[in-house]
Structure 1
Amino acid sequence: MKKILFGTGNPAKLNAMRRRLSELDIEVLGLADMDREAPSPSEDGSTPLENARQKALCYYDFYQIPVFSCDSGLYFEDLPQELQPGIHVRTVGGKCLTDQEMLAYYGGLAEKYGNLRARYRNAVCLVMDREHIYEAMDDSTASEVFLITAVPYAGVRQKGFPLDSLSVSLGTGKYFYEMDRERTDHLAVEDGVLNFFRGLEL
């Protein structure tokens, strides 16, 4: 079984990725499985793919084992460019928002403009070594369109996915938090990301 490090500090994303890739002959390692702590990678790219690449290369250079990283950008339909989060989902006006501040900010946008039709553009970069780097960011790895609403989910929230408490599926009308774990794993790790790994000869 091939061991590959997932370069993320988000335990919820790590667990979702492990479950989604469990059908493949891949053991997904987390940063906590490593024997030493890597320096924080730069994430100053202009696209999700540039950030995913920066993270994957940083962790590969430090640990010298195959590494993949993912990154996302959030985009709204029918909102002006200055209000598009893009890759800066958690940073507004130069400030890094807490989970609660994120809910207040994006909930406020939905209250002002009405329910927001949104989509994540997702990127993945896998570094087997410096000569073998594989990347993807296209419609297949993007999320389906969903709604960001002004009224947050009233139940228990999962750490690591704060905006899921404002996110509503267009298909079911349910908050992401109301869906079963298999469905939320698909939302966290799109089929296109799974197919990216399926298409590689690892």
Structure 2
Amino acid sequence: MALLTTTSAQAHSGSSTPPPPGIQIPSLTHGQMAVIARYRGDILALAQAQTVTDPTFRRLYNHGNLQFTYCLWGLMPGSLGDEESPFNECSHAYLATAKALLTYMATMSSAAHEAKALISAIDADMVRSGASWILCQYSGEAFSTGAVVEPRWREMVFHLPSLAVVLAMIAAMMTAAWSIFGARRARAV
């Protein structure tokens, strides 16, 4: 409930204002986003295997994880494919960061070989799926490690798949709480 009432200080509203200070992260198309999502685990596995890092690497890695958390770990329905989803813009942000992290790892001597092989695999997958041609309203939006893109919390009530998930989570938590605390009260009586 706290997430629903949080007011969003949208860092990226699709306006023409420049991104905030930090490492600039290039945008990606809606189609590229779907392909990067399939490879995000491989990108993070390669990043986690790095023992020698630098501040740029750590900022990209940490920012991507923070963005992923703000996007509720990618669990909201439609966050990747539905442009109307309140989670679509923040999904663009964490996946663009994953792509930027992979691109950066390609410049690191310890990760260059594996990163370039992964880039080739992703590139081939993007060509096969025609990913660069699938656009949406956030496809041209650049991001920055200097700002976190929050979901559009207030719009969740108008996006039925997101609202259904939130209501189901609330019902599950209430049921769990009732079974834990209700059972204790019944035994105490």
Could you say which structure has the higher strand fraction?
A: 1
TM-score w.r.t. length of structure 1: 0.24
Higher relative contact order (CA 8 A, sep 6+): 2
Could you say which structure has the higher helix fraction?
A: 2
TM-score w.r.t. length of structure 2: 0.25
> Which protein is bigger by CA-based radius of gyration?
2
